[in-house]
Structure 1
Amino acid sequence: MADLSQIKEHMEVIGADGVHVGTVDHVDGDRIKLTKKDSGQGSHEGHHHYISQGLIAEVEGDKVRLSANADVAVTFEEEA
């Protein structure tokens, strides 16, 4: 499991396939809160989304890599 203390504001979140998923706003408990600019379109637009710690594979430099490809990872995002 990844060490959340390594995750910093403005790091890029990418899927296992290297595709952009979002940008870290901050760590909130055991989840990453993504910036609103990466919130999607339609009914998802303008909401913060969260990535659970369980989806984080590793922190690589200035990127947070998830254990799932980007198209799958976004289906696991939580909205607030």
Structure 2
Amino acid sequence: MISAEQIREHMEVRAADGTHVGTVDHLDGTTRIKLTKMDSEDGKHHLIPIDWVDHVDAHVHLSKNARDVRMQWATIN
């Protein structure tokens, strides 16, 4: 299981297919990652569950492909 302490601000988030889907703004509690709105096509923050994280190295790698991530993430202003 991934530990939230492994995830740092400004880390790139990549989908399982290698596509860039965002940049970590900060952790939203202990269960979600808030992505920066500056790096978002719609200019909004998006939240993804830590459960989607497959592994962390220099980047946060997700277990879902980019299409699924974008269809299922939560959007906030």
User: More helix by proportion, 1 or 2?
Assistant: 1
Unmatched 5+ stretches in structure 1: none
Task: State percent identity of aligned pairs.
Answer: 51
Q: Which amino acid aligns with 1:34?
A: L
Is 1:49 matched with 2:46?
Answer: yes
1:72 to 64, 68, 73: 68
Q: Which amino acid aligns with 2:17?
A: D
Taking structure 2 as the reference length, what is the TM-score of the superposition? 0.88
Give me the whole-angstrom Cα distance separating, in 2, the residues matched to 1:37 and 1:72.
21
Structure 1 runs of 4+ with >6 Å offset: none
Structure 1 counterpart SS, 2:38: helix
Q: Which amino acid aligns with 1:50?
A: L
Deviation at 1:5, TM superposition (A): 0.6
Q: Which amino acid aligns with 1:73?
A: V
Give me the whole-angstrom Cα distance separating, in 2, the residues matched to 1:57 and 1:15.
9
Taking structure 1 as the reference length, what is the TM-score of the superposition? 0.85
CA-based RMSD of the aligned residues comes to 1.1
